[in-house]
Amino acid sequence: MPRARRLPAYRRHKARDLAVATLDGRDRYLGEYGTAYSYRRYLDVLASQLQAESRA
């Protein structure tokens, strides 16, 4: 049985004070950590990843 993929974590890049999520081995910077904008970008990135997986 294939292992379920985990969702990438929303986390803080301390040196830059930016929100970041790692997808497919690449960091995606989402904006200033803790802002509504960065959370929205995080959800957009997750949605696009799930769409790409469902098409494959």
Q: Is the pTM of this model over 0.85?
A: no
**Which positions ≥6 away from 41 have C-beta within 8 Å?**
19, 30, 31
With cut-offs at 50, 70 and 90, classify the pLDDT of residue 7: confident
Nearest alpha-carbon partner for 39 in 21, 17, 15: 21
d(CA 3, CA 15): 33
Cα 32–36–42 angle (5° rounding)? 75
For 10-49, write each residue's pLDDT tens digit. 999 999 999 999 988 899 999 999 999 999 999 999 998 8
